[in-house]
A = this chain, B = another copy of it.
Protein backbone atom coordinates (compact mmCIF):
# COMPACT_ATOMS: atom_id res chain seq x y z
CA UNK A 1 0.00 0.00 0.00
CA UNK A 2 2.97 2.38 0.26
CA UNK A 3 5.06 3.51 -2.61
CA UNK A 4 8.38 5.27 -2.72
CA UNK A 5 7.61 7.99 -5.24
CA UNK A 6 6.24 11.46 -4.62
CA UNK A 7 2.72 11.17 -3.25
CA UNK A 8 0.16 12.75 -5.51
CA UNK A 9 -1.51 15.80 -4.09
CA UNK A 10 -5.17 15.42 -3.21
CA UNK A 11 -5.86 19.11 -3.66
CA UNK A 12 -8.38 20.58 -6.04
CA UNK A 13 -8.92 24.26 -6.40
CA UNK A 14 -11.96 26.06 -7.68
CA UNK A 15 -12.04 29.65 -8.89
CA UNK A 16 -14.12 32.05 -6.86
CA UNK A 17 -14.87 35.64 -7.72
CA UNK A 18 -15.06 37.09 -4.24
CA UNK A 19 -13.91 36.17 -0.74
CA UNK A 20 -17.48 35.41 0.30
CA UNK A 21 -18.23 33.25 -2.72
CA UNK A 22 -16.65 30.00 -1.60
CA UNK A 23 -17.92 26.51 -0.82
CA UNK A 24 -17.28 26.99 2.90
CA UNK A 25 -20.04 29.55 3.09
CA UNK A 26 -22.72 26.94 2.53
CA UNK A 27 -24.78 26.08 5.61
CA UNK A 28 -23.17 23.58 8.00
CA UNK A 29 -24.52 20.05 8.02
CA UNK A 30 -26.33 18.88 11.12
CA UNK A 31 -25.01 16.02 13.21
CA UNK A 32 -25.78 12.67 11.67
CA UNK A 33 -26.91 14.20 8.40
CA UNK A 34 -26.71 11.91 5.38
CA UNK A 35 -24.74 14.55 3.48
CA UNK A 36 -22.46 16.07 6.06
CA UNK A 37 -21.20 19.56 5.27
CA UNK A 38 -17.53 19.75 6.06
CA UNK A 39 -16.63 23.02 4.39
CA UNK A 40 -14.34 22.77 1.41
CA UNK A 41 -14.01 18.98 1.76
CA UNK A 42 -15.78 17.20 -1.08
CA UNK A 43 -14.62 13.59 -0.86
CA UNK A 44 -12.04 11.17 0.41
CA UNK A 45 -9.31 10.36 -2.07
CA UNK A 46 -6.71 7.59 -2.01
CA UNK A 47 -3.19 8.93 -1.63
CA UNK A 48 -1.95 6.05 -3.82
CA UNK A 49 -4.46 5.37 -6.60
CA UNK A 50 -6.57 8.53 -6.42
CA UNK A 51 -9.87 6.64 -6.18
CA UNK A 52 -12.53 8.81 -4.59
CA UNK A 53 -15.13 7.86 -2.03
CA UNK A 54 -17.79 9.86 -0.19
CA UNK A 55 -16.91 11.67 3.04
CA UNK A 56 -17.33 9.32 6.00
CA UNK A 57 -15.47 7.60 8.84
CA UNK A 58 -13.24 5.63 6.47
CA UNK A 59 -9.47 5.50 6.28
CA UNK A 60 -8.44 2.79 3.81
CA UNK A 61 -8.97 2.74 0.04
CA UNK A 62 -11.14 -0.23 -0.90
CA UNK A 63 -9.39 -0.45 -4.28
CA UNK A 64 -5.73 -0.59 -3.27
CA UNK A 65 -5.69 -0.36 0.55
CA UNK A 66 -3.83 2.96 0.34
CA UNK A 67 -4.48 5.67 2.93
CA UNK A 68 -7.43 7.97 2.31
CA UNK A 69 -7.01 11.74 2.41
CA UNK A 70 -9.47 14.61 2.29
CA UNK A 71 -9.99 16.11 -1.17
CA UNK A 72 -11.11 19.73 -1.39
CA UNK A 73 -12.50 22.38 -3.60
CA UNK A 74 -10.39 25.16 -2.20
CA UNK A 75 -11.21 28.86 -2.70
CA UNK A 76 -8.68 29.72 -5.42
CA UNK A 77 -8.43 32.74 -7.69
CA UNK A 78 -8.25 35.55 -5.14
CA UNK A 79 -5.23 35.03 -2.90
CA UNK A 80 -5.23 38.61 -1.61
CA UNK A 81 -8.87 38.34 -0.62
CA UNK A 82 -8.30 34.98 1.04
CA UNK A 83 -5.31 36.29 2.99
CA UNK A 84 -7.42 39.20 4.19
CA UNK A 85 -10.25 36.89 5.19
CA UNK A 86 -7.84 34.69 7.13
CA UNK A 87 -6.22 37.64 8.89
CA UNK A 88 -9.64 38.90 9.98
CA UNK A 89 -10.48 35.49 11.47
CA UNK A 90 -10.23 34.29 15.06
CA UNK A 91 -6.88 33.87 16.85
CA UNK A 92 -7.13 30.10 16.50
CA UNK A 93 -6.72 27.50 13.77
CA UNK A 94 -10.27 28.31 12.67
CA UNK A 95 -8.93 31.35 10.84
CA UNK A 96 -8.01 28.72 8.22
CA UNK A 97 -11.48 27.14 8.19
CA UNK A 98 -11.83 27.79 4.42
CA UNK A 99 -8.91 25.37 3.89
CA UNK A 100 -10.08 22.68 6.31
CA UNK A 101 -12.72 19.92 6.38
CA UNK A 102 -14.89 21.76 8.89
CA UNK A 103 -18.20 23.62 8.71
CA UNK A 104 -17.95 27.38 8.22
CA UNK A 105 -19.42 28.05 11.67
CA UNK A 106 -16.91 25.79 13.42
CA UNK A 107 -15.59 28.52 15.73
CA UNK A 108 -19.07 28.99 17.19
CA UNK A 109 -19.40 25.35 18.24
CA UNK A 110 -18.16 24.15 21.62
CA UNK A 111 -14.57 23.08 20.99
CA UNK A 112 -11.13 23.89 22.40
CA UNK A 113 -10.30 26.45 19.67
CA UNK A 114 -6.65 25.42 19.43
CA UNK A 115 -3.88 26.86 17.33
CA UNK A 116 -2.40 30.22 16.40
CA UNK A 117 0.36 29.44 18.87
CA UNK A 118 3.46 31.63 19.13
CA UNK A 119 6.22 31.55 16.53
CA UNK A 120 9.10 32.56 18.78
CA UNK A 121 11.90 34.50 17.14
CA UNK A 122 14.72 32.66 18.87
CA UNK A 123 17.59 35.13 18.60
CA UNK A 124 19.39 33.98 21.74
CA UNK A 125 19.21 30.34 20.69
CA UNK A 126 20.32 31.32 17.18
CA UNK A 127 23.38 33.05 18.63
CA UNK A 128 24.32 29.89 20.57
CA UNK A 129 23.88 27.67 17.52
CA UNK A 130 25.48 30.04 15.04
CA UNK A 131 22.31 30.35 12.97
CA UNK A 132 22.41 33.62 11.06
CA UNK A 133 19.49 33.22 8.67
CA UNK A 134 16.80 33.58 11.34
CA UNK A 135 15.75 30.88 13.81
CA UNK A 136 12.17 30.38 14.98
CA UNK A 137 10.54 28.00 17.43
CA UNK A 138 6.92 27.15 16.66
CA UNK A 139 5.75 26.57 20.22
CA UNK A 140 2.70 24.32 20.25
CA UNK A 141 2.83 23.87 24.01
CA UNK A 142 0.56 26.92 23.92
CA UNK A 143 -2.40 24.80 22.83
CA UNK A 144 -5.26 24.15 25.30
CA UNK A 145 -3.96 20.75 26.46
CA UNK A 146 -0.39 21.84 25.72
CA UNK A 147 0.48 19.77 22.68
CA UNK A 148 -0.10 19.99 18.93
CA UNK A 149 -2.62 17.15 19.25
CA UNK A 150 -5.40 19.63 19.98
CA UNK A 151 -5.25 20.59 16.29
CA UNK A 152 -6.01 17.21 14.68
CA UNK A 153 -8.48 16.35 17.44
CA UNK A 154 -10.46 19.54 16.83
CA UNK A 155 -10.95 18.51 13.21
CA UNK A 156 -11.73 14.89 14.10
CA UNK A 157 -14.36 16.20 16.52
CA UNK A 158 -16.13 18.04 13.70
CA UNK A 159 -16.05 14.89 11.59
CA UNK A 160 -17.45 12.86 14.50
CA UNK A 161 -20.29 15.36 14.88
CA UNK A 162 -20.96 15.36 11.15
CA UNK A 163 -21.09 11.55 11.00
CA UNK A 164 -23.23 11.21 14.13
CA UNK A 165 -20.58 9.36 16.14
CA UNK A 166 -21.13 9.51 19.89
CA UNK A 167 -17.90 8.24 21.47
CA UNK A 168 -14.55 9.88 20.77
CA UNK A 169 -11.61 7.53 21.11
CA UNK A 170 -7.95 7.04 20.21
CA UNK A 171 -4.81 5.06 20.74
CA UNK A 172 -2.28 7.37 22.30
CA UNK A 173 1.21 7.77 23.69
CA UNK A 174 -0.30 10.30 26.09
CA UNK A 175 -0.73 13.71 24.51
CA UNK A 176 -3.52 12.59 22.22
CA UNK A 177 -5.41 10.95 25.09
CA UNK A 178 -5.55 14.26 26.97
CA UNK A 179 -6.53 16.17 23.86
CA UNK A 180 -9.36 13.74 23.08
CA UNK A 181 -10.61 13.70 26.67
CA UNK A 182 -10.69 17.49 26.88
CA UNK A 183 -12.27 18.00 23.45
CA UNK A 184 -14.98 15.42 24.14
CA UNK A 185 -15.80 17.05 27.48
CA UNK A 186 -16.08 20.49 25.92
CA UNK A 187 -18.33 19.12 23.20
CA UNK A 188 -20.42 16.91 25.46
CA UNK A 189 -19.42 13.62 23.80
CA UNK A 190 -18.43 10.47 25.61
CA UNK A 191 -14.73 9.58 25.40
CA UNK A 192 -12.87 6.31 25.86
CA UNK A 193 -9.13 6.45 25.19
CA UNK A 194 -6.43 3.78 25.10
CA UNK A 195 -2.82 4.16 26.21
CA UNK A 196 0.08 1.77 26.78
CA UNK A 197 0.51 1.04 30.47
CA UNK A 198 3.45 2.86 32.11
CA UNK A 199 3.23 6.37 30.64
CA UNK A 200 4.36 9.51 32.47
CA UNK A 201 2.11 10.25 35.46
CA UNK A 202 1.17 13.70 34.18
CA UNK A 203 -0.06 12.27 30.90
CA UNK A 204 -2.06 9.56 32.67
CA UNK A 205 -3.69 12.09 34.99
CA UNK A 206 -4.42 14.44 32.11
CA UNK A 207 -6.00 11.62 30.12
CA UNK A 208 -8.23 10.64 33.05
CA UNK A 209 -9.14 13.97 34.62
CA UNK A 210 -11.70 14.93 31.98
CA UNK A 211 -13.95 12.17 33.23
CA UNK A 212 -14.09 9.89 30.19
CA UNK A 213 -12.92 6.29 30.28
CA UNK A 214 -9.17 5.71 30.16
CA UNK A 215 -7.99 2.18 29.43
CA UNK A 216 -4.35 1.22 29.92
CA UNK A 217 -3.22 -1.63 27.68
CA UNK A 218 -0.55 -4.06 28.78
CA UNK A 219 1.70 -3.62 25.73
CA UNK A 220 3.46 -1.09 23.49
CA UNK A 221 1.81 1.74 21.57
CA UNK A 222 1.77 -0.48 18.50
CA UNK A 223 -0.17 -3.12 20.47
CA UNK A 224 -2.66 -0.44 21.48
CA UNK A 225 -2.99 0.68 17.89
CA UNK A 226 -3.63 -2.84 16.62
CA UNK A 227 -6.23 -3.35 19.34
CA UNK A 228 -8.05 -0.17 18.27
CA UNK A 229 -8.13 -1.34 14.64
CA UNK A 230 -9.73 -4.58 15.83
CA UNK A 231 -12.26 -2.67 17.90
CA UNK A 232 -13.37 -0.64 14.88
CA UNK A 233 -14.28 -3.80 13.01
CA UNK A 234 -16.22 -5.15 15.98
CA UNK A 235 -19.82 -4.33 17.01
CA UNK A 236 -18.32 -3.15 20.34
CA UNK A 237 -16.88 -0.16 18.48
CA UNK A 238 -20.05 0.90 16.71
CA UNK A 239 -20.67 4.64 16.85
CA UNK A 240 -17.08 5.23 17.91
CA UNK A 241 -14.86 7.80 16.26
CA UNK A 242 -11.19 6.89 16.68
CA UNK A 243 -9.49 10.18 15.94
CA UNK A 244 -6.34 8.55 14.60
CA UNK A 245 -7.91 5.48 12.97
CA UNK A 246 -11.32 5.72 11.27
CA UNK A 247 -11.30 9.54 11.49
CA UNK A 248 -7.64 9.70 10.50
CA UNK A 249 -8.15 11.40 7.11
CA UNK A 250 -9.79 14.33 8.92
CA UNK A 251 -7.63 14.23 12.03
CA UNK A 252 -4.45 14.28 9.95
CA UNK A 253 -5.45 17.53 8.25
CA UNK A 254 -5.10 19.33 11.58
CA UNK A 255 -1.33 19.39 11.23
CA UNK A 256 -1.62 21.40 8.01
CA UNK A 257 -2.50 24.38 10.18
CA UNK A 258 1.05 24.36 11.55
CA UNK A 259 2.28 25.07 8.03
CA UNK A 260 -0.33 27.79 7.52
CA UNK A 261 0.51 29.52 10.79
CA UNK A 262 4.27 29.39 10.31
CA UNK A 263 3.96 31.03 6.89
CA UNK A 264 1.42 33.64 8.00
CA UNK A 265 3.52 34.47 11.07
CA UNK A 266 6.57 34.89 8.81
CA UNK A 267 4.57 37.46 6.84
CA UNK A 268 3.12 35.00 4.32
CA UNK A 269 6.52 33.61 3.41
CA UNK A 270 7.81 30.06 3.26
CA UNK A 271 10.68 29.28 5.63
CA UNK A 272 13.81 27.83 4.04
CA UNK A 273 14.09 24.91 6.47
CA UNK A 274 11.74 23.19 8.94
CA UNK A 275 12.70 20.55 11.49
CA UNK A 276 9.80 18.30 12.55
CA UNK A 277 9.68 15.41 15.04
CA UNK A 278 8.50 12.07 13.69
CA UNK A 279 6.31 9.59 15.55
CA UNK A 280 3.86 8.17 12.97
CA UNK A 281 5.16 10.73 10.48
CA UNK A 282 1.68 12.08 9.86
CA UNK A 283 2.49 15.57 11.10
CA UNK A 284 5.45 15.98 8.76
CA UNK A 285 3.52 14.72 5.75
CA UNK A 286 0.68 17.14 6.44
CA UNK A 287 2.94 20.12 7.05
CA UNK A 288 4.43 19.47 3.63
CA UNK A 289 0.91 19.24 2.21
CA UNK A 290 -0.01 22.52 3.88
CA UNK A 291 2.99 24.30 2.39
CA UNK A 292 2.14 23.03 -1.08
CA UNK A 293 -1.46 24.16 -0.69
CA UNK A 294 -0.32 27.66 0.23
CA UNK A 295 1.81 27.73 -2.91
CA UNK A 296 -1.00 26.32 -5.08
CA UNK A 297 -3.42 28.93 -3.75
CA UNK A 298 -0.95 31.76 -4.29
CA UNK A 299 -0.93 32.65 -0.60
CA UNK A 300 2.87 32.44 -0.53
CA UNK A 301 5.44 32.83 -3.26
CA UNK A 302 6.88 29.53 -4.41
CA UNK A 303 10.50 28.85 -3.51
CA UNK A 304 12.48 25.80 -2.43
CA UNK A 305 12.10 24.64 1.16
CA UNK A 306 13.75 21.75 2.96
CA UNK A 307 12.04 19.47 5.45
CA UNK A 308 14.07 17.67 8.12
CA UNK A 309 12.77 14.86 10.31
CA UNK A 310 13.84 14.20 13.91
CA UNK A 311 13.65 10.95 15.85
CA UNK A 312 14.90 9.60 19.16
CA UNK A 313 17.74 7.09 18.91
CA UNK A 314 15.74 4.62 21.02
CA UNK A 315 12.99 4.53 18.40
CA UNK A 316 14.42 5.64 15.07
CA UNK A 317 13.01 3.39 12.34
CA UNK A 318 12.69 6.24 9.84
CA UNK A 319 16.09 7.70 10.58
CA UNK A 320 17.74 4.30 10.16
CA UNK A 321 15.95 3.62 6.89
CA UNK A 322 16.93 7.06 5.57
CA UNK A 323 20.58 6.52 6.43
CA UNK A 324 20.71 2.92 5.19
CA UNK A 325 18.67 3.53 2.08
CA UNK A 326 16.53 0.60 3.22
CA UNK A 327 12.82 0.09 3.89
CA UNK A 328 11.40 1.28 7.19
CA UNK A 329 11.76 -1.67 9.56
CA UNK A 330 9.59 -1.58 12.71
CA UNK A 331 11.27 -1.19 16.09
CA UNK A 332 9.81 -3.85 18.38
CA UNK A 333 10.65 -2.39 21.81
CA UNK A 334 11.09 1.38 21.69
CA UNK A 335 13.40 2.60 24.46
CA UNK A 336 13.54 6.38 24.77
CA UNK A 337 12.50 9.12 27.18
CA UNK A 338 10.67 10.69 24.22
CA UNK A 339 7.61 8.49 24.77
CA UNK A 340 5.40 10.62 22.56
CA UNK A 341 7.65 9.63 19.64
CA UNK A 342 7.85 5.96 20.61
CA UNK A 343 5.95 4.57 17.64
CA UNK A 344 7.91 1.59 16.43
CA UNK A 345 5.91 1.04 13.25
CA UNK A 346 5.26 4.51 11.82
CA UNK A 347 2.44 4.46 9.26
CA UNK A 348 3.80 7.42 7.30
CA UNK A 349 7.49 6.52 7.61
CA UNK A 350 8.07 5.92 3.87
CA UNK A 351 6.32 9.20 3.00
CA UNK A 352 8.55 11.05 5.46
CA UNK A 353 11.61 9.72 3.67
CA UNK A 354 10.12 10.68 0.28
CA UNK A 355 9.49 14.23 1.42
CA UNK A 356 12.86 14.75 3.07
CA UNK A 357 14.58 13.47 -0.08
CA UNK A 358 12.37 15.47 -2.43
CA UNK A 359 12.98 18.74 -0.59
CA UNK A 360 16.70 18.22 0.03
CA UNK A 361 16.26 17.64 3.75
CA UNK A 362 17.39 14.76 5.94
CA UNK A 363 16.37 12.49 8.83
CA UNK A 364 18.46 12.08 11.95
CA UNK A 365 18.18 11.02 15.60
CA UNK A 366 19.63 11.87 19.03
CA UNK A 367 20.03 9.97 22.28
CA UNK A 368 18.42 10.63 25.66
CA UNK A 369 21.29 12.75 26.99
CA UNK A 370 21.15 14.98 23.91
CA UNK A 371 17.38 15.29 24.33
CA UNK A 372 17.70 16.49 27.92
CA UNK A 373 20.53 18.84 27.04
CA UNK A 374 18.45 20.42 24.28
CA UNK A 375 15.40 20.84 26.53
CA UNK A 376 17.62 22.75 28.92
CA UNK A 377 19.23 24.80 26.16
CA UNK A 378 15.85 25.90 24.82
CA UNK A 379 14.60 26.78 28.31
CA UNK A 380 17.76 28.70 29.17
CA UNK A 381 17.92 30.72 25.96
CA UNK A 382 14.26 31.29 25.08
CA UNK A 383 12.19 30.54 28.18
CA UNK A 384 10.38 27.71 26.39
CA UNK A 385 10.03 24.51 28.43
CA UNK A 386 9.66 21.75 25.85
CA UNK A 387 8.54 18.17 26.12
CA UNK A 388 11.09 15.46 25.34
CA UNK A 389 9.84 15.52 21.73
CA UNK A 390 10.90 19.17 21.55
CA UNK A 391 14.30 18.16 22.89
CA UNK A 392 14.53 15.62 20.07
CA UNK A 393 13.76 18.24 17.45
CA UNK A 394 16.24 20.78 18.77
CA UNK A 395 18.84 18.07 19.38
CA UNK A 396 18.59 16.89 15.78
CA UNK A 397 18.71 20.50 14.59
CA UNK A 398 22.04 20.93 16.38
CA UNK A 399 23.33 17.68 14.93
CA UNK A 400 22.30 18.68 11.41
CA UNK A 401 23.97 22.07 11.75
CA UNK A 402 27.16 20.36 12.91
CA UNK A 403 27.06 17.92 9.99
CA UNK A 404 26.37 20.68 7.47
CA UNK A 405 23.05 19.16 6.38
CA UNK A 406 21.19 22.17 7.73
CA UNK A 407 22.39 25.55 6.48
CA UNK A 408 22.73 28.08 9.32
CA UNK A 409 22.54 30.95 6.84
CA UNK A 410 18.96 30.05 5.90
CA UNK A 411 15.77 30.76 7.84
CA UNK A 412 14.91 27.78 10.02
CA UNK A 413 11.81 26.79 11.96
CA UNK A 414 12.04 24.20 14.75
CA UNK A 415 8.84 22.64 16.08
CA UNK A 416 8.14 22.24 19.76
CA UNK A 417 5.11 19.99 19.80
CA UNK A 418 4.55 19.57 23.53
CA UNK A 419 5.05 20.77 27.07
CA UNK A 420 7.87 20.10 29.50
CA UNK A 421 5.38 19.80 32.34
CA UNK A 422 4.26 16.50 30.83
CA UNK A 423 7.72 14.96 30.82
CA UNK A 424 9.06 16.30 34.10
CA UNK A 425 11.14 13.22 34.84
CA UNK A 426 13.47 14.03 31.96
CA UNK A 427 14.80 17.16 33.64
CA UNK A 428 13.77 16.68 37.29
CA UNK A 429 17.16 15.23 38.34
CA UNK A 430 18.96 18.38 37.17
CA UNK A 431 16.31 21.11 37.52
CA UNK A 432 16.57 21.63 41.26
CA UNK A 433 17.17 24.50 43.68
CA UNK A 434 20.69 25.94 43.60
CA UNK A 435 20.50 26.05 47.40
CA UNK A 436 18.16 25.53 50.36
CA UNK A 437 18.80 28.19 52.99
CA UNK A 438 17.39 29.78 56.13
CA UNK A 439 15.54 33.08 55.54
CA UNK A 440 18.48 35.36 56.38
CA UNK A 441 20.93 37.57 54.51
CA UNK A 442 23.81 35.75 56.17
CA UNK A 443 22.59 32.40 54.86
CA UNK A 444 22.12 33.88 51.39
CA UNK A 445 25.60 35.39 51.46
CA UNK A 446 27.05 32.04 52.49
CA UNK A 447 25.31 30.34 49.56
CA UNK A 448 27.43 32.49 47.22
CA UNK A 449 24.60 33.37 44.81
CA UNK A 450 24.46 37.17 45.16
Contact = CB atoms under 8 A, between A and B. Distances in A.
Contact of A236 (B376, B433, B450): B450
Q: In which size bucket is the chain A interface?
A: 35 or more
How many copies, total? Answer: 2
Interface string A414-450: 0000011110100110011111111111001101011
A402 interface: no
Interface string A214-233: 11111100011011001100
B383 A227 contact: no
B144 A383 contact: yes
Nearest to A180: B383
Contact of A146 (B146, B431, B433): B146
A439 B383 contact: no
Secondary structure call for the A interface: mixed
A1 to B, nearest CB: 23
A196 to B, nearest CB: 9
A134 interface: no
Contact of A447 (B215, B421, B440): B215
Nearest to A92: B118
28 contacts: A124-B185, A124-B186, A184-B383, A185-B380, A185-B382, A186-B382, A192-B449, A195-B433, A197-B436, A201-B428, A205-B428, A205-B431, A206-B385, A206-B420, A209-B379, A210-B379, A215-B436, A215-B447, A215-B449, A217-B436, A217-B437, A217-B438, A218-B437, A227-B440, A230-B440, A234-B441, A236-B444, A421-B421
